Structure 1
Amino acid sequence: MTAKRGLITDSFQVVKRERKGKKREKSPTLPPQEEDVSETVRAQELHKLRQFDLDWRFGPCTGISRLQRWERAKLHGLNPPEEIRNLLLQIEDDPEYNMSLWSEYPF
């Protein structure tokens, strides 16, 4: 005795769409939105500062500001990047720039 294998179409109705003879028209694509340049620059700068925080070659970064850490690393001859110092000196009043990545965590 052989069991008859059913097809999937035995259980589900076959639905075919009608073709209209023409190609489907694509919906018009929206022009790319221009991102706020200042936001992308800020994001890039904060990314560089976070990378500086995560680089242990320049010593620990908990409990001090980024500029203090940079100066301490320079004092000990660890050659921290000048780009970081310039960035920190340009924007002195923003705590997101000045404090390290770990400043929000209690230790």
Structure 2
Amino acid sequence: MTTKHRLITDSFKVVKKARRGGKQEKRATPPPPQKDAESEAEKEELQKLKQFDLDWRFGPCTGISRLQRWERAKLHGLNPPEEIRDLLLKTYTDPEYNFSLWSEYPL
């Protein structure tokens, strides 16, 4: 009593798909995008602002803008960095700069 092993190709016809347009030419890969000096500076600025958000010495940062927090810290004599204030005044219309790291989380 021998059993015959069947292959799936015994039941289904093997069909090879033809390539569209025949052989394709090898194309040169495009060079990787160069890092913009502006985007690097922007990343550094945002990193400084995130560090400001995470620094507990200047008080809580939830519920207020970064500039309001900076001004509150200055009012209480906590000596926040002047470069943060300058950066915030330069970019006050951009919400990515204006609001703290925690602004997207509900209170």
TM-score normalised to structure 2 length: 0.69
Equivalent in the alignment of 1:69? 69
Post-superposition CA distance 1:18-71 (Å, at most 9, x none): xxxxxxxxxxxxx88631111111100000000000000000000000000000
> Which one-letter code corresponds to 2:43 in the other structure?
A
Number of aligned positions between the proteins: 78
Q: Distance in 1 between matches of 2:37 and 2:71?
A: 30
Segments of 5+ residues of structure 1 without an aligned counterpart are 1-30
TM-score normalised to structure 1 length: 0.69
Equivalent in the alignment of 2:81? 81
Secondary structure of residue in 2 paired with 1:74: helix
Equivalent in the alignment of 2:104? 104
Q: Distance in 2 between matches of 1:81 and 1:103?
A: 21
Alignment of 1:41-52 (within 5 A): 41-52=41-52
Q: How far 1:92 sits from its partner (Å)? A: 1.0
Aligned sequence identity (%): 74
Secondary structure of residue in 2 paired with 1:103: coil
Give me the CA root mean square deviation: 1.6
Segments of 5+ residues of structure 2 without an aligned counterpart are 1-30
Q: Distance in 1 between matches of 2:99 and 2:48?
A: 13
Q: Distance in 1 between matches of 2:69 and 2:105?
A: 17
Q: Distance in 2 between matches of 1:92 and 1:74?
A: 18
